[in-house]
Structure 1
């Protein structure tokens, strides 16, 4: 799977599982995303980092860890 396909798929998952906030952006917690995405790929954190680098998503912190960061909000920016 190419980089762009993985990032596109990640954004689709956020869009379909997240909730739209008052600002119009769709957000999910890391736990929600991880639980949904783990059946598709175990590379979710790496894909999230690439998506953030390209300005597609936002979340606090440098790295996300399952368990510790379950409540971190991931926001789709596109």
Structure 2
């Protein structure tokens, strides 16, 4: 299983349904859950966004500052 696939699985498992029915999770929650899998979460998120699999506001996410940013699984 690829790291991006693992990320999508974690979002599906730990996220909630957003207004459009897609799984969403806050960055802080995802960081806490995902850190046990990989310490490179932000890089994986950027790769997943480039592949059109997730959406989040901003160019970069920082632990602490961006804990409330919603990550939405698109695919």
TM range (shorter): over 0.9
Unaligned runs of 5+ in 1: none
Match of 2:66 in 1: 69
**Which of residues 9, 28, 36 in structure 2 aligns to 1:12?**
9
Alignment RMSD (CA, Å): 0.9
Distance in 1 (alpha carbons) for counterparts of 2:55 and 2:43: 14
Unaligned runs of 5+ in 2: none
Give the structure-1-normalised TM-score.
Answer: 0.93
Segments ≥4 residues shifted beyond 2 Å: none
Give the structure-2-normalised TM-score.
Answer: 0.96
**Paired residue total:** 75
Moved more, 19-28 or 55-64: 19-28
